[in-house]
Amino acid sequence: MAKIVYSYNKAETIKPLKSNWAVAELKLTYRFKKRTNIIVSSAWSAAKVFRAMWDNSLINIQEQFCVIFLNTMGEVIGFKLYNTGTIKSGIVDVNLVLSSALLCRATNIIIAHNHPSGDLKFSDQDLKLTQKIREACEIIDVTLKDHIILTNDSYSSFFEIYEK
Closest CA to 109 of 92, 139, 134, 131: 134
Percent of the chain beyond pLDDT 70?
Answer: 80
Of the listed ranges 23-27, 48-52, 57-61, 62-66, the least confidently predicted one is 23-27
Classify residue 24: in a domain, yes or no: no
Classify residue 72: in a domain, yes or no: yes
Classify residue 57: in a domain, yes or no: yes
Classify residue 4: in a domain, yes or no: no
* Measured distance CA(57)–CA(79) in Å, rounded: 18
More confident residue, 24 or 52: 52
Q: What CATH number has the domain bearing residue 120?
A: 3.40.140.10
* Measured distance CA(54)–CA(57) in Å, rounded: 9
Predicted confidence band of residue 28 (pLDDT cuts 50, 70, 90): low
Classify residue 81: in a domain, yes or no: yes
Please state the domain count of the chain: 1
Give 39's strand partners. 75
What is the pLDDT at residue 88?
79
Domain holding 107, by residue range, is 36-163
Classify residue 101: in a domain, yes or no: yes
Classify residue 9: in a domain, yes or no: no
Amino acid, res. 77 = I
Q: Per-residue pLDDT averaged across 38-64, rounded? A: 94
pLDDT tens per residue, range 83-104: 988 877 788 999 999 999 999 8
pLDDT tens per residue, range 112-157: 999 999 999 999 999 999 999 999 999 999 999 999 999 999 999 9
Classify residue 89: in a domain, yes or no: yes
